[in-house]
Structure formats: structure tokens, C-alpha cells
């Protein structure tokens, strides 16, 4: 398949099918790309805002406060990691949608 042509879902992996078909899965199974993009659009800003909130809260809390700076920093790191996962998933979904449409832009 040349550049600019849509790629079918049957060959949407890097090399094609990753696992041989066993016959138990639907032959037309598809990932819900639009739903994944919607979830990314909703939760990426939420996780970024939570990361900033917990980081600022951790910076302004004293060692004797409850919750202390350590748990708040842990929450900030966890939210930052989830924001990174959401961003990478959004990038992957955009790339797959663009490849299936055959266009240059997503």
C-alpha cells in the first residue's frame, strides 16, 4: 500500500496482524477511536490540572500538615503520569485515524 492510500483495519498494526486469528474473535472487531479521542480530550486537561493542583499544594504545605508534602507529591507524579499516558494515546489515535482516512492531517 502506497502513501496516501487508506490502510484497512486488518493491517493497522506496525507489521500487520500481531497475533494469528483463532476464530473466536469477531472478524470486524474495531477499536472505538472516536471514543478514545473523546476520553483523551476530557481527561488530559483534568490530569494536567490535577498535577498542577497537587504540585502547588505540596509546595505550600509544611512537613507537619496533613496531608504532608510527600503524599501530595506522589499524587502529582501519578496525575502527571496519567496525563502523559492520555497524551500518548491521543497521539496514537490521531495517527491511526489519519492513516485510515488516507489524509495528511488528523
| Cα(85)–Cα(79) distance, integer angstroms | 10
- pTM beyond cutoff 0.85: no
Return the higher-pLDDT residue of 65 and 12: 65
pLDDT, averaged across the chain? 82
106 — pLDDT class (breaks 50, 70, 90)? very low
pLDDT in tens, 41-75: 999 999 999 999 999 999 999 888 889 999 999 99
85 — pLDDT class (breaks 50, 70, 90)? very high
N- to C-terminal Cα distance for the chain? 19
| Cα(77)–Cα(49) distance, integer angstroms | 12
Residues 6+ apart with CB under 8 A from 82: 43, 47
Amino acid at each position: 500500500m502506497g502513501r496516501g492510500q487508506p490502510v484497512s483495519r486488518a493491517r493497522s498494526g506496525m507489521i500487520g496482524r500481531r497475533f494469528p486469528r483463532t476464530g473466536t474473535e469477531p472478524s470486524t472487531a474495531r477499536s472505538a477511536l472516536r471514543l478514545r479521542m473523546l476520553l483523551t480530550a476530557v481527561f488530559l486537561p483534568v490530569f494536567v490540572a490535577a498535577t498542577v493542583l497537587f504540585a502547588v499544594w505540596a509546595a505550600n504545605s509544611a512537613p507537619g500538615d496533613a496531608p504532608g508534602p510527600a503524599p501530595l507529591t506522589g499524587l502529582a507524579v501519578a496525575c502527571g503520569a496519567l496525563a502523559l499516558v492520555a497524551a500518548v494515546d491521543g497521539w496514537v489515535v490521531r495517527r491511526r485515524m489519519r492513516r485510515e482516512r488516507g489524509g495528511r492531517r488528523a
